Amino acid sequence: MIEIKNVKKNFGKNEVLKDVSLKVNKGDVVVLLGPSGSGKTTLLRCINFLEQADEGILTIDGQTVNLHKASSKEKLQIRKKTAFVFQNYGLFQNKTALQNITEGLITARKVPTKEAIKKAEEVLAWVGMLDKKNYYPSQLSGGQQQRIGIARAVALDPDVILFDEPTSALDPELVGEILTLIRNVAKKGITMIVVTHEMSFAQEVASKVVFMADGVVIESGTPKEIFYTPKEERTKKFLERILPQDDYYI
């Protein structure tokens, strides 16, 4: 179980997160929705210490850390329990597809090389990229790179995978196949927190939808609750702009 409590984050005078709390059960797929600048991505990055929160407590797998003043050892421990899928793939440019996956296993988790390669080939086969295992990221298309990015996250066997708009850098044709892949990750029962603007994906896959705006959680609930019976005015407004009108009015 993952629990985030009272996370606050400012960028200069700009309050990006104002006291955000979130509970994620094991196996949950939590989708963070909200307009740009609402702090979804920042929240995700705070969980992985890619951004240092000004305040907040994080509990993952029984380990509790202060998001503001975690030691580098604690940061490392938390990072080993999480995996991150980047918007612009974030593959190591100097490593092949296979090495991209084995790097975190061998160097960070001290998995024996042979075992790591076996595991990497397994996940590469699972995302359908085994034949490209010796390709460098620059030789692959965006969709292929994101497949490897997802394979890398899955191979690490984390408590939670954080997806930061995994499809928004892809051209529309490729979005579908990556979403299918993420659906398959969800089917594996891996806990996920997904920031996305893909509404139909959120409706179908999410076990919980969290709507954020202006640095606070406006409301959260099942996809049905959020999309069809939103309680808050702010949520209704947002959905009105994004969904076809009669999609959520009953």
For another protein, the binding residues (CB under 8 A) are 48-50, 72, 76, 79-80, 82-84, 86, 88-95, 103-104, 107-109, 132, 135-136, 138-141, 152, 156
Quote the distance between the C-alpha of residue 156 and its chain's center.
14
- Phi/psi at 209 (nearest 5 deg)? -115, 130
Outline where 86-232 has alpha helix (H): 97-103, 113-126, 142-155, 172-187, 199-205, 223-228
Shortest separation between residue 106's beta carbon and another protein, angstroms: 10
Shortest separation between residue 230's beta carbon and another protein, angstroms: 33
* Residue in 147, 216, 138 with CA at minimum distance from that of residue 176: 147
Judged by CB, which is closer to another protein: 113, or 200? 113
Shortest separation between residue 16's beta carbon and another protein, angstroms: 17
Rounded CA separation 69/144 (Å): 37
Which SS3 state, helix, strand or coil, does residue 200 take? Answer: helix
Shortest separation between residue 122's beta carbon and another protein, angstroms: 17
Judged by CB, which is closer to another protein: 108, or 125? 108
Judged by CB, which is closer to another protein: 103, or 225? 103
Judged by CB, which is closer to another protein: 136, or 248? 136
Q: Retrieve residue 198's tokens.
A: 């893909």
Shortest separation between residue 26's beta carbon and another protein, angstroms: 21
Judged by CB, which is closer to another protein: 115, or 232? 115
Using the structure block, give the residue that is written with the tokens 């702010």: 234
